[in-house]
Structure 1
Amino acid sequence: MLKAEYQRRGPVPQEVIEAVELQLPALAPGQVRVKVLAAPINPSDVLTLTGEYGMLPPLPAIGGNEGVGRVEELGPEVSQLKIGQTVLLPIGCGTWVTHLNVEAKKLIALPDADPQQLAMMTVNPPTASLLLSEFVDLQPGDWVIQNAANSGVGSYLIQLAKLRGFKTLNVVRRESAVAAVKAEGADVVLVDGPDLPKRVREATGGAAVRLGIDAVGGVATDHLAGSLSEGGVLVNYGMMSREPCQVSPASFVFRDVSLRGFWLAKWFRVSTPAQQVKVFAELTQLIASGKLKTRVAATYDVSQIKEAVAAAARGERDGKILIVPK
């Protein structure tokens, strides 16, 4: 058994983490042993390793915030789960491991479906879903613009928008990413640049664009702000450029554009159990049925954690990096 552990943080994320032997104690009452089937590496995981994320676990720590596993052993007093059952792992439990002991009551039984797609359900899909629903009352036929459209969240946002009847303007940072984003069902794909607002108006025929989604920061934020219609809302949820959001006062003053922020961890804290169940019930059904999915660029064993984190930290890749224990 192995775990991907880090005892410090630093600017090069793959240098601070390594695979080490894992020894688990005997199961306590109410616990089960789970074999991890798949666990993704998200941008927030990389920022946690560098120390730049908004919430950092105490050290030493095991990497990984989401994933799925298979129940291998039941501890005393466990009756609600069965051996062989696929389960969603608790968020933030350190999922870059081969096995872990978990309280049975914290596990959610999942339908039989692709474990790699199910493993990515806790972070990116709800982020995309809530970005589309929490800030602007969109109606079928409305336009939404997003950057980092080739990211995990970007992929889910395109698919969810189409299911809800919205049209998407999708911004990427390089021409080589255009084809893959179009294949996701994007209505329009544009390469970022200072003239983005002009090209957006041409693509939409001057239609209103009331919602913008920014994962990049820096000047990319300003390009999206300039593409929004009067009174539009721009929501930032990431900093892929590692630069502060930049917006011209003209967008704020003359067109009443507003800039908001979104953090899924905060939503988990303030939302009700009923709200969470509603969001995840929809996403589980869509992912299990194959109607909602995202590209996987590569998979790595826990023993390859350094290579996996390096791959995830690189900007130019087509799809998610997953830890898939052998």
Structure 2
Amino acid sequence: MKRVEYRRRGPVPQDVVEVVERETPAPGQGEALVEVLAAPINPSDVLTLAGDYGTLPPLPAVGGNEGVGRVVALGADAHGPGPGQMVLLPVGIGTWSTHVVAPAKALMALPEGADPVQLSMLTVNPPTARLLLTDTVELPPGSWVLQNAANSAVGGYLVQLAKARGLRTVNVVRRESAAEVVEEQGGDVVLVDGDDLAARVESATGGAAITLGIDAVGGMATERLAQSLASGATLVNYGAMGGEACAISPASLIFRGITLRGFWLSWWYKQAEPQVRAALFAELAGLIAQGQLSARVQTAYAIDDAAQAVAAAASGGRDGKVVLLPNGAIGG
């Protein structure tokens, strides 16, 4: 087997990873050996390699927080999906590998015939988008939602999930070239960020009272969203793509009653009951299998090109996800 390991962390994430060969392990008591089909490279993975993420695994470590695979063999007394079944891998298991060993009971069977690459992104970005949209404020059908970083993976999922729920989205991007991507995914309004954002949001929505804003950029982008929301609205931050802490004025916080709160999926995972997590995964997997939920994929890489894949994932200006195919191209 091959896997992508790192023994140190550093500011250039592609420089700390190396592809190493190991003996393919046999599954032990209650375990399953799984061949990994696809594993994405997320911003959180890049931040982990750089040492800048909220939680860091002990070194040495294997990269990759999510992915899908196919069960190869079960160990003694293993109770879970059988050999040949496509499965969702447990979060944080180290999926940048041709094979992994996991507790059989922790594996979730996935719909056969669905795209493994799309399913491989199931446990990070789609739940983030779904929870941001539904677990913050009550939004009746027809409501508007405002988000920035709308061309990101989370942004794309949020647009699709909002449309399915009868919600409308105002989508803010940082460059004109990104607008077309969001429009193709069904964004109702797409605007390039700028100092006059609030006025343009008001014009585009006919002065609608927007009660939910979603921020992934930070810095003054947070304040521009706050200015575009209705008084008493909630603004949720889940990232700092701009590299700066959220900036929000006393005028927004005090005089207009805007609530700024944070969201971290890892924290939600720690608190959510297993059955709640399983139900959310099942819901999202069903939407993916039906073709109602997807993310743009920019490039898929072989495991031997992992450093190049990490560099691509860390670069700006992408319009799609970077995915590893540890065992090569996935056949029909």
What TM bracket, shorter-length normalisation?
A: over 0.9
Distance in 1, matches of 2:36 and 2:43, equals 20
Distance in 2, matches of 1:216 and 1:79, equals 43
Distance in 1, matches of 2:224 and 2:138, equals 23
Give the C-alpha shift of residue 75 in structure 1: 2.1
SS for the counterpart of 1:45 is helix
Give the C-alpha shift of residue 79 in structure 1: 5.1
Q: Does structure 1 residue 93 correspond to structure 2 residue 102? A: no
Question: 2:185 is matched with which residue?
Answer: 184
Question: 1:38 is matched with which residue?
Answer: 38
Question: 1:15 is matched with which residue?
Answer: 15
Give the C-alpha shift of residue 22 in structure 1: 2.4
Question: 2:138 is matched with which residue?
Answer: 137
Distance in 2, matches of 1:237 and 1:20, equals 34
SS for the counterpart of 1:217 is coil
Asked whether the equivalents of residues 13 and 310 of structure 1 are also in contact (C-alpha less than 8 Å), the reply is yes
Question: 2:289 is matched with which residue?
Answer: 288
Report the more deviating stretch, 199-208 or 74-83: 74-83
Question: 2:239 is matched with which residue?
Answer: 238
Superposition pairs of residues 152-231 of structure 1, within 5 angstroms = 152-231=153-232
Q: What's the RMSD between the two structures over aligned residues?
A: 1.1
SS for the counterpart of 2:245 is strand
Deviations 1:61-89 (A, max 9, x none): 00000000011222223354222110000
Distance in 2, matches of 1:79 and 1:63, equals 27
Percent sequence identity over aligned pairs: 60
SS for the counterpart of 2:155 is helix
Question: 1:26 is matched with which residue?
Answer: 26
SS for the counterpart of 1:185 is coil
Q: Which amino acid aligns with 1:206?
A: G
Asked whether the equivalents of residues 45 and 65 of structure 1 are also in contact (C-alpha less than 8 Å), the reply is yes
Question: 1:314 is matched with which residue?
Answer: 315
Q: Does structure 1 residue 111 correspond to structure 2 residue 111? A: yes
Deviations 1:99-122 (A, max 9, x none): 111221111111111000100000
Distance in 1, matches of 2:19 and 2:192, equals 38
Deviations 1:19-67 (A, max 9, x none): 1112233321222211100001111111111111111100010000000
Q: Does structure 1 residue 269 correspond to structure 2 residue 266? A: no
| Matched length | 326
Distance in 2, matches of 1:80 and 1:225, equals 47
Distance in 1, matches of 2:278 and 2:31, equals 23
Asked whether the equivalents of residues 81 and 87 of structure 2 are also in contact (C-alpha less than 8 Å), the reply is no
Which sections of structure 1, spanning at least 5 residues, go unmatched?
none
Residue 106 to residue 202, structure 1, CA distance change in 2 (3 Å): same
Distance in 2, matches of 1:283 and 1:322, equals 19
Q: Does structure 1 residue 58 correspond to structure 2 residue 58? A: yes
Report the more deviating stretch, 134-143 or 24-33: 24-33
Moved over 3 A (4+): none
Distance in 2, matches of 1:260 and 1:46, equals 24
Report the more deviating stretch, 312-321 or 21-30: 21-30
Question: 2:48 is matched with which residue?
Answer: 48
Q: Which amino acid aligns with 1:81?
A: P
Question: 2:5 is matched with which residue?
Answer: 5
Give the C-alpha shift of residue 134 in structure 1: 1.4
Asked whether the equivalents of residues 24 and 101 of structure 1 are also in contact (C-alpha less than 8 Å), the reply is no
SS for the counterpart of 2:276 is helix
Question: 1:301 is matched with which residue?
Answer: 302
How high is the TM-score relative to the length of structure 1?
0.98
How high is the TM-score relative to the length of structure 2?
0.96
SS for the counterpart of 1:323 is strand
Distance in 2, matches of 1:162 and 1:321, equals 25
Distance in 1, matches of 2:16 and 2:218, equals 26
Distance in 1, matches of 2:218 and 2:248, equals 10
Report the more deviating stretch, 17-26 or 224-233: 17-26
Asked whether the equivalents of residues 79 and 105 of structure 2 are also in contact (C-alpha less than 8 Å), the reply is no
Asked whether the equivalents of residues 5 and 63 of structure 2 are also in contact (C-alpha less than 8 Å), the reply is yes
Distance in 1, matches of 2:174 and 2:79, equals 50
Deviations 1:232-255 (A, max 9, x none): 110000111111111122111221
SS for the counterpart of 1:20 is strand
Distance in 1, matches of 2:196 and 2:265, equals 31
